[in-house]
Amino acid sequence: MSIFGTMKTSVSGMNAQANRLGTVGDNIANSSTVGYKRASTAFSSLVLPSTQGSYSSGGVETNVRYSIAEQGGIQYTTSSTDLAIQGEGFFIVSDPNGSPFLTRAGSFQKDPNGFLTNTAGYKLMGYPYGSNPPAAVVNGFNGLEEININDFGLVSSPSSQGSFPANLDKEADIVPAGTRPSDNVAGSVIGNKASLTGYDHAGAKVLYDFYYTKTGTNEWEVSVYRQDQSTNGGFPYTATAPASLVQTKAVLRFDPNTNKLVSAPYVAGPPSTGSMKDLTITDPNDGATPAQKIKIDLSEMTQFASDFTPGKGIINGNAPSPISDVEIGGDGVVTAVYQDGGRRAIYQVALATVPAIDKLKPQNGNVYLPTNDSGVVTIGFPESGAFGQIYSGALESSNVDIAGELTEMIEAQRVYTANSKVFQTGSDLMDVLINLKR
């Protein structure tokens, strides 16, 4: 056995424990870092060829591993833009050069330019939300944009769809033709009336009057007019040129057994059959091309022997009001909340994952890059497939166990000391050999 070999083996052991202490130091230093994943040191033996009469000491190699897939605890905060992921997935962020990275650090705040940026300076990315929900590009980062809240301040959105359910009194009187609201004549018989606020292309509020009139047994009609075209708040509704009269009608028929709308679609007569499940308000009065169309869902209408009860009317669109807050749902939809109470979906946060999560490559700022060992990136939305759920107003803490790290530190210190003793013993033996020559 070589004395020099023994000394080199002990140096290898001390270097290995120094690496171990390095990961412990990193873990303790980042124990309060949002989304940090602990590092650990794995050891493997290095064996040199030996003979039966002579043993050649080898050494030890170290391999640093990261527990990236291990979930950290969820801690709630007071900021609605702080985000945490429960389950699998990573936020997709970009650096100042626009390069995409993956991270679990969701401490996002709106910067002076309106971008949602975390404490390391990375900007959150998502898909823009148009008239329809966005679709994820499963195998690439194409289509993702840096989320900018300022782009949606003082931007109006015209109403295009909504719903306005109500219960109509089955015992109401039938109104004869010629005096119904749909006839738009002075003295029209008003049975039940409710109003709904919409928005035109300029963001101006427009009130639409809904009239519900019984026309026969289990038969009703819904007439809609633009309120500012009424005569002293009533009939007739008229339009002053170049404005156009807004007048829309839907025919409703109810099943006498269920008192809900019949399932057959409406077919004009005579005789007419079926029932309309929605109506479309066509309003060209703001001068936009094409004319504004608002589809109102009526499918939840009922006809019970009870007073007229309008349900919760919902309609999309918003006035040009400043953004007062931002809400992010568990499905990743970013909703701008305006000062006038309006709401608008503007982005949807996407999540990414890889087959071998622990093989991702850590980078500065608590972000990760995919590698050949980690596999191909897959992108999707929260609460879909294997992806987890987003919690708004919460952060994922590090998965570092301080007690465990301190234990590791003590053990590494003891083993390092033992290796140094081996080195010291080898040094003493070398002194003996040198003294023999003297």
For residue 154, what pLDDT is reported?
76
179 or 7, which is more confident: 179
pLDDT at 348 exceeding the cut of 80: yes
For residue 77, what pLDDT is reported?
94
pLDDT tens-digit series, residues 411-420: 999 999 998 8
Residue 415 corresponds to which amino acid?
Answer: V
What pTM did the predictor assign?
0.67
Q: How far apart are CA 23 and CA 39, in angstroms?
A: 6
Where are the CATH 2.60.98.20 domain residues in the chain?
161-315
For residue 45, what are its two tokens? Answer: 């033996």
Q: How far apart are CA 78 and CA 75, in angstroms?
A: 10
What's the CATH number for 161-315? 2.60.98.20
Q: Residues 46, 58: contact at Cβ < 8 Å?
A: yes
Question: Residue 4's pLDDT band (boundaries 50, 70, 90)?
Answer: confident
For residue 79, what are its two tokens? Answer: 């900021």
Burial 142-179 (b: 16+ CB within 10 A, else e): eebebbbbeebeeebbbbebbbbbbbbbbebeebeeee
Q: Which residues contact 161 (CB under 8 A, 6 or more apart)?
A: 294, 295, 296, 297, 315, 316
For residue 155, what pLDDT is reported?
75
pLDDT at 304 exceeding the cut of 90: yes
Q: How far apart are CA 258 and CA 253, in angstroms?
A: 12
pLDDT tens-digit series, residues 308-332: 999 989 998 888 888 888 999 999 9
pLDDT at 1 exceeding the cut of 70: no
